[in-house]
Amino acid sequence: MRPVGIRIMTQHTSTEATAVADAEKKAQLNVNKLTKWLRHAVGDAINDFNMIEPGDKIMVCLSGGKDSYTMLDILLGLQRSAPIDFSIVAVNLDQKQPGFPEHVLPDYLKSIGVDYRIIEEDTYSIVKKLVPEGKTTCSLCSRLRRGILYRVADELGASKVALGHHREDILETLFLNMFYGGKLKAMPPKLVSDDGKHVVIRPLAYCREKDIVRYSEAKGFPIIPCNLCGSQPNLQRAVVGDMIADWDKRFPGRIESMFRALQNVVPSHLADTSLYDFVGAKADGVARADGDKAFDRETFSEPNTINILASKPADAGGCGDH
d(CA 217, CA 308): 25
Helix (H, G, I), strand (E, B), or coil: what is residue 304? Answer: coil
Q: Which amino acid is at 61?
A: C
Q: Which residues make Cβ contacts (< 8 Å) with residue 98, sequence separation at least 6?
A: 124, 227
d(CA 57, CA 177): 32
Read off φ and ψ for residue 103, nearest 5 degrees.
Answer: -85, -20
Distance linking the first and last C-alpha atoms of the chain: 62
In this structure, the strands spanning 116-120 and 87-94 are parallel
* Residues annotated within a binding site: 138, 141, 229
CB of 104 closer than 8 Å to CB of 224: yes
d(CA 313, CA 85): 23
CB of 211 closer than 8 Å to CB of 37: yes
Q: DSSP labels for 97-130? A: -TT--TTHHHHHHHHHT--EEEEE--HHHHHHHH
To 5 degrees, how large is the angle CA 144–CA 86–CA 163? 25
* Residues annotated within a binding site for [4Fe-4S] cluster: 138, 141, 229
Dihedral over Cα of 195, 201, 206, 211: its sign: negative
d(CA 255, CA 261): 10
d(CA 138, CA 46): 28
Strands of the sheet with 199-201, listed across from one edge = 116-120, 87-94, 57-61, 160-162, 199-201, 190-192
